Amino acid sequence: MVSRGIVYYITYVFAMTYGFTLKPTPCSLQRGRSPVVGHMIGSRPPQVEGVKIRGVTSTPIRSHSSARARDPIAAEQVVAYVRGLIEKGALRPGDRLASERELVSAIGVSRPSVRAGLRSLATMGIVTTRQGAGTFITAGPPALVNEPLGMLAALHGITREGLFEARRVLEVSSVALAAERATGDQLAAMSDEITGMYTSLEDPQEFLRHDVRFHRAVAVGSNNLVLSALIEMVASLHYEQRRVTIERARNELRSEADMHRRIYQAVRVHDPEAARAAMDEHLQRALARMVSEEESSAEAADAPSNPRGGNRS
C-alpha cells in the first residue's frame, strides 16, 4: 500500500511536468472521485442558469454546499489549464504565469478557484510564488514535495531501515551515473558542500544541511531528472528524522565528512564502481550511526524518570 501511494503521487507529478497521460481508473469513478485532470483541458465548469423573476433574469444563485462541491473541480481545471500550456511548450521552467485576473478570464472560473489551483500546483512543486512578482514555473530540476511521503510514513510506520534501504537503491545507482555524467559545474557544487561540512564540524545542524545538499548535488550530477526528484523527496524525510538526533554525533562528524570526500573523489575521477562502493559503505555506516544516536537519545530521555537516590514524596 505504501509503495502504491508513493508511486501514484510521483507518476502524477511527472505526468504534470512532462506530459504523459494518465487515465481515470474504474475504481476512482466508482467511488465518485473526479477523473485525472489531464482529461479536462478545455472543459468548463458546470453553469447555473439564472432564475427569471417577472421577466428579469437574476444573477445565478448557488448554495454554499453547491459551491463547495464545485470548487475542487474548478481548481482541477486550473491545474489542467497550466498542464496544457506546459505540454504545448508555452510555459517552460522559470516562466511567469498570467495574473489571477487573466487566468479567471482564460479558464472561466472564479478567483478563489484559481488560487486553489495554484496552491495545488505549488504543493506538487510545479510553481512557486514570489511576493510582489507573481507565480512562476519552478526552475531547475523537479522537486517532489515530501509531505505525502511523510504522511505515508506516519500512517504506515515506515522504519528507518526501510528508508535507508530506499536510499541505497536510489543513491548507489545515482552516484555511479554521476561519476559518468557530472559536469564541471556539478562537481564544483559537490566540492562546495564538502568544504561546508569541514567548516561546520562544531555545528551539527549546519553540518547536516551541507550533508543533505551534497547528496542532492550528487543526484543532480546523475543528470537523471526522475532520480533527482525521488532522492530529493527521500532525503527530505531523512533530514527531518536525523536533525533530532545529530547533536549526539559531534565526535563523528569529521569521519562523516571524510566519507563524503571519498564519494566525491570517486565521482571526480569518473570511477563509477569506486563511487558506488563508497556510497554503499557510507549509507550502511549512516544507518548504524542513526540507530546509535536514537538509542542514546532514548537513554537520555529515560534517565530523569529513574533517579538514583534522592527523596521520595
Among 30-34, 117-121, 137-141, 223-227, top mean pLDDT goes to 223-227
Q: What is the pLDDT of residue 60?
A: 44
On whether residue 53 sits in a domain, the answer given is no
Ranking 135-144, 170-179, 276-285 by mean pLDDT, the lowest is 135-144
Domain boundary among 137, 158, 193: 137
In angstroms, rounded to a whole number, what is the distance separating the alpha carbons of residues 121 and 273?
39
pLDDT band at 93 (very low <50, low <70, confident <90, very high): confident
In angstroms, rounded to a whole number, what is the distance separating the alpha carbons of residues 121 and 127?
6
- Same domain for 238 and 104: no
Strand 56-57, strand 127-130: pairing: unpaired
- Same domain for 151 and 131: no
- Same domain for 281 and 175: yes
The number of domains in the chain is 2
pLDDT at 222 over 60: yes
Candidates 171, 78, 166; CA nearest to 127 is: 78
Percent of the chain with pLDDT over 70: 65
Which residues have CB under 8 Å from 105's CB, separation 6+? Answer: none
Considering the chain, what is the average pLDDT of its residues?
76
Contact 136, 96 (CB under 8 A): yes
How much is the average pLDDT of 105-113? 93
- Same domain for 124 and 33: yes
Residue in this structure with the C-alpha cell 526552475, named with its chain if needed: 139
Residue type, 138: T
pLDDT at 223 over 50: yes
Residue in this structure with the C-alpha cell 498542464, named with its chain if needed: 83
- Same domain for 258 and 151: yes
CATH number at residue 106: 1.10.10.10
On whether residue 59 sits in a domain, the answer given is no
Q: What is the pLDDT of residue 181?
A: 97
Which residues have CB under 8 Å from 113's CB, separation 6+? Answer: 45, 71, 74, 75, 77, 78
Q: What is the pLDDT of residue 31?
A: 40
Domain boundary among 115, 137, 159: 137
On whether residue 74 sits in a domain, the answer given is yes
Ranking 54-63, 80-89, 178-187, 289-298 by mean pLDDT, the lowest is 54-63
On whether residue 278 sits in a domain, the answer given is yes
Helices (DSSP H) in the chain: which residue ranges? Answer: 2-18, 26-30, 64-87, 100-107, 111-123, 147-156, 160-181, 184-199, 204-221, 225-242, 253-268, 272-302
Q: What is the pLDDT of residue 304?
A: 60
CATH number at residue 156: 1.20.120.530
In angstroms, rounded to a whole number, what is the distance separating the alpha carbons of residues 215 and 50?
58
Q: What is the pLDDT of residue 312?
A: 41
Q: What is the pLDDT of residue 11?
A: 55
- The domain in which residue 239 lies consists of 147-300
pLDDT band at 168 (very low <50, low <70, confident <90, very high): very high
Q: What is the pLDDT of residue 306?
A: 52
pLDDT at 28 over 70: no
On whether residue 57 sits in a domain, the answer given is no
pLDDT at 253 over 80: yes
